Amino acid sequence: MSGAGDGLSVLVVNAGSSSIKLRLLGPDDEVLATTDLHADRHGFDEDELRVFLHGDRPDVVGHRVVHGGTQFTDPTLIDDEVVAELGRLVELAPLHQPAALKGIEAVHDVLPDVASVACFDTSFHTTLPPAAFTYALPREWLRRWPIRRYGFHGLSHAYASRHVAELARADGLDVDPAALRTVVCHLGAGASLCAVKGGRSVDTTMGFTPLEGLVMATRSGSVDPGLVLWLLRDDRLSLDDLEEGLEHESGLLGLGGSKDLRDLVDGDGPDPQAAALALDVYVHRLVTSVAAMTASLGGLDLLGFTGGVGEHDAVVRSRVAQRLAYLGVALDAHRNDSADGDTDVTAPGAAVRTYVVAAREDLQIAQEARRVVAG
Collect all residues with Cβ–Cβ distance below 8 Å to 37 and sequence separation of at least 6. 19, 20, 22, 44, 45, 48, 49, 52
What Cα–Cα distance (Å) separates residue 22 from each residue in 13, 44, 62, 121, 312?
5, 12, 10, 17, 23
Which DSSP string do the residues of 26-37 spell out, in sequence order? -TTS-EEEEEEE
Catalytic residue of the set 47, 56, 59, 121: 121
Q: Is 344 a catalytic residue?
A: no
Distance between CA atoms of residues 204 and 188, nearest Å = 16
Distance between CA atoms of residues 269 and 232, nearest Å = 32
Distance between CA atoms of residues 37 and 43, nearest Å = 10
**Region of residue 141 (phi > 0: left; psi between -120 and 50: alpha; otherwise: beta):** alpha
Query: Other CB atoms closer than 10 Å to residue 304's CB: what's the count?
Result: 25
Whats the size of the chain, residue-wise?
375
Distance between CA atoms of residues 34 and 242, nearest Å = 37
The gap between the terminal CA atoms of the chain, to the nearest Å, is: 20
71: amino acid identity, one letter: Q
Distance between CA atoms of residues 64 and 362, nearest Å = 9
Q: Which residues are catalytically annotated?
A: 121
